[in-house]
């Protein structure tokens, strides 16, 4: 940012500073136009997966295979540690790991949503939101690959199918919406401050162990409410619990809905204020 002789900071003359009302309309138009150009971000997401696994025989199914190996290796040992039967613990563990991989990837990849698209942003005038939708759709495709484990688990462990399984749909929709605002917000902050991606990576490592993913929430006893206040657990619980045919934790739905509303509002305000500066930050 240039500095005048008087020490005042100002943006270059070619940076258009819109009135607040016009800036909000422009930000909303960016989000709307990005959705309407689904052919672009879906094609870019598919291309990302093809390039990532170019030359690989199994492609993204390597993640599925690694998840199966991890569940098999951890299942027997941790079932004994938590004094649970393997038949009930393995589905809990498998779903927790699969959903966590999806949720954590939205955060880690979200940090790179604009940085990874530097060439496109500087050369092609497309809505910034396209790059956030691209990140979310790419991880949704990978999640679909890993979800192949779920019907196999239903058959192997003879899990009952109840009406609760339909709760997965609104739960997944809310997680996807949260993924969009996370990709936009973290993408902008990471473009401005390059220390954010490794910080987020370290936080995710800690969250994996403090969130009831591989351990049952009942293990906390009277302190289970601490885990229920964890938004990461809420995101996992609204998808995992319906698949297991059990009720979600009392705070999971209010927390995921509240996170969606508050996160989306704050991100929109941030996007309105700093959207035009993204191209200069990267």
- Confidence check: pLDDT of 11 > 50: no
Q: pTM, whole model, 2 decimals?
A: 0.85
Domain contains 205: yes
Q: Is residue 8 part of a domain?
A: no
Number of domains in the chain: 1
Nearest to 183 by CA among 136, 216, 232, 220: 136
Please give the residue range of the domain that contains residue 190: 26-48+56-281
Confidence check: pLDDT of 5 > 70: no
Closest CA to 282 of 194, 206, 174: 194
pLDDT at 9 over 70: no
pLDDT digits (tens, 9 = 90+) for 112-155: 999 988 888 888 888 999 999 999 999 999 898 888 887 777 77
Query: Per-residue pLDDT for 232 more than 90?
Result: yes
| Max avg pLDDT among 114-123, 195-204, 207-216 | 195-204
Alpha helix locations (H) across 157-230?
168-192, 196-210, 224-228
What CA–CA distance (Å, rounded) separates 180 from 16? Answer: 26
**230 domain-assigned:** yes
Q: Distance between CA 45 and CA 140 in Å, rounded?
A: 10
Q: Is residue 188 part of a domain?
A: yes
Residue 14 located in a structural domain:
no
The pLDDT value given to residue 107: 95
Q: How confident is the model over 188-214, as a mean pLDDT?
A: 93
Q: Per-residue pLDDT averaged across 217-243, rounded?
A: 89
In a domain, 1, yes or no: no
pLDDT above 60 (res 71): yes
233 domain-assigned: yes
Does residue 9 form part of some domain? Answer: no
Predicted local distance difference test score (pLDDT) of residue 39: 92
Half-sphere CA count of 1, side-chain side, radius 13 A: 8
Among 103, 106, 92, 98, residue whose Cα is nearest residue 68: 98
């Amino acid at each position: 940012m240039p500095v005048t002789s008087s020490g005042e900071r100002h943006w270059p003359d070619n940076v258009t500073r819109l009135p607040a009302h016009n800036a909000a309309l422009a930000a909303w138009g960016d989000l709307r136009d990005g959705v309407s150009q689904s052919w672009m971000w879906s094609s870019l997401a598919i291309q990302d997966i093809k390039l990532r696994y170019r030359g690989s025989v199994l492609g993204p199914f390597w993640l599925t295979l690694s998840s199966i190996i991890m569940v098999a290796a951890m299942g027997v040992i941790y079932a004994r540690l938590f004094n649970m039967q393997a038949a009930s613990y393995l589905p809990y563990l498998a779903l927790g790991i699969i959903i966590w991989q999806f949720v954590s990837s939205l955060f880690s990849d979200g940090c790179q949503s604009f940085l990874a698209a530097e060439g496109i942003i500087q050369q092609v005038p497309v809505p910034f939101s396209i790059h956030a939708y691209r990140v979310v759709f790419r991880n949704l495709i990978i999640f679909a690959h890993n979800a192949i484990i779920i019907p196999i688990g239903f058959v192997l462990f003879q899990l009952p199918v109840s009406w609760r399984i339909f709760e997965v749909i609104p739960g997944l929709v809310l997680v996807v919406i949260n993924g969009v605002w996370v990709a936009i917000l973290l993408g902008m902050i990471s473009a401005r401050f390059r220390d954010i991606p490794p910080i987020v990576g370290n936080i995710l490592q800690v969250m994996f162990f403090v969130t009831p993913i591989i351990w049952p929430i009942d293990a906390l006893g009277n302190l289970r409410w601490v885990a229920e206040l964890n938004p990461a657990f809420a995101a996992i619980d609204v998808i995992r619990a319906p698949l297991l045919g059990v009720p979600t934790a009392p705070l999971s739905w209010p927390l995921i809905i509240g996170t969606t509303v508050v996160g989306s509002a704050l991100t929109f305000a941030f996007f309105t204020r700093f959207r035009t500066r993204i191209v200069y930050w990267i």
